[in-house]
Copies of this chain bind each other. A is one copy, B any other.
């Protein structure tokens, strides 16, 4: 992104005024549209607010922008041509549509991370660069020729990748299927999106875990779904709760993450898995099983997924490489009955015409390669190491103010705060000190929780990150 040149002879404010004038002339800020606030622009450009004030004054004196107290600074409508012209009311369009924007906290976190690249990131649910198999993928890409035809792909995804996944699912997850019942998606995210958009109708009731990643996804509300909560305790959700929700609200689908649940890290107990199948088959209720973390299990293997025990055909199974290889591959998959896969593949054609073949080829080579198993072993060890580092740091910095149950797999530590602090203000204080996390309320939980991701920061950043977080938290004492 453009930043003013501090070595130039031209004053910073003039550079900024010129830059804005150019962008206004390009139509990026059409006549009548709102410019970012002085404060926000100062943050983005890394200058003092007073510099932006000067730049705005310059533009105002040229008649390019207009400021009115209380309604911000806008691009002039009079300046641009003599005729009475009307620019579309873009801001009204941007507010339109039935698709809801992301949660304010998530946008705030993203903005902070874009603005301040030095921030220690304990918010993004992904692996750090050194945990991802970058070298292995680079090696595979230079060994293989990755471009064969490069036309539109099969609607369900690249066939060799689906074939490789048949083997992978049998070997690693005890799931038996054929490539006909697999659909490749852009991470788990797109699987969830397709399910909520194409299999459920506005007004349908669904059950989700509480707390749960699903709460952080306004796509559930955008699809007009009514959400009901299944509280998660140390053994996961109670399947009997599903029965009562069904009786009361006729829920149409259940969304679950049974292994190393996001954000709590809990594993659904064997007993409850059995009860769950009883309830699901009694009610004829489909269960969406999101299984991104199982292969990160640090010591003993994670339980088999529900899908491996699914003699009744109740489970839509979702998996992904995002948490065990690299989120930037954007490769996830769904295993589902034929009719469902066909329906979703058809809909996805219209949304984006499918994924690029290139990362699908890379992913297929990777799971079939001799790199895959050693990568997983290294990943598990390093995740456990990072988890231990974060636990140690918390024990050192905040033994009195934070409690947690250390998970046996996954990327996150779910922490309860022993101090009443408003979510938003804690996040602000943390950002000021150079660290971000996700407030618990994003996952629909009661106040007083935070999700701290140990997988994303670099090893050497974890102690510092927790120290900064501790400082932010203690500022409320």
Contacts and interface: CB of A to CB of B under 8 A. Distances in A.
Oligomeric state, in copies: 2
A314 B87 contact: yes
B352 A190 contact: yes
Interface string A143-162: 00111111111110001000
Interface stretch (A21-29, A259-267, A297-305): A21-29
A180 interface: yes
A125 to B, nearest CB: 9
Q: Is the interface of A mostly helix, strand, loop or mixed?
A: loop
B283 A86 contact: yes
Contacts of A25: 176
Given A86-B283, A281-B85, A313-B30, A150 B327 contact: yes
A446 interface: no
B137 A150 contact: yes
B358 A90 contact: no
B352 A330 contact: yes
Interface in A67-110: 80-81, 83, 85-91, 93-99, 101-102, 107, 110
Contacts of A282: 85-86
A370 interface: no
Which of A86, A137, A155 has the most chain B CB atoms closer than 10 A to its own CB?
A86
Given A94-B199, A198-B97, A199-B97, A26 B176 contact: yes
Contacts of A400: none
Contact of A94 (B99, B339, B349, B357): B339
A217 B114 CA distance: 35
Given A147-B134, A193-B351, A339 B199 contact: no
Given A91-B339, A129-B150, A351-B351, A281 B101 contact: no
A346 interface: yes
Interface in A93-143: 93-99, 101-102, 107, 110, 114, 124, 126-127, 129, 132, 134, 137-138, 141-142
B352 A362 contact: no
Which of A2, A107, A328 has the most chain B CB atoms closer than 10 A to its own CB?
A328
A358 to B, nearest CB: 5
B329 A356 contact: yes
A280 B349 CA distance: 31
Given A181-B26, A281-B87, A338-B33, A346 B102 contact: yes
Given A189-B351, A201-B98, A328 B357 contact: yes
B176 A80 contact: no
A337 B74 CA distance: 13
21 contacts: A27-B310, A27-B313, A27-B337, A28-B180, A28-B337, A30-B313, A88-B285, A88-B314, A96-B200, A124-B152, A129-B150, A134-B148, A134-B150, A137-B147, A138-B146, A142-B145, A150-B329, A217-B350, A328-B356, A329-B356, A330-B354
Given A87-B312, A94-B340, A141-B141, 16 more contacts: A2-B178, A23-B181, A27-B337, A28-B337, A30-B313, A81-B312, A88-B286, A93-B200, A96-B198, A124-B151, A129-B151, A138-B146, A151-B328, A185-B352, A189-B350, A327-B353
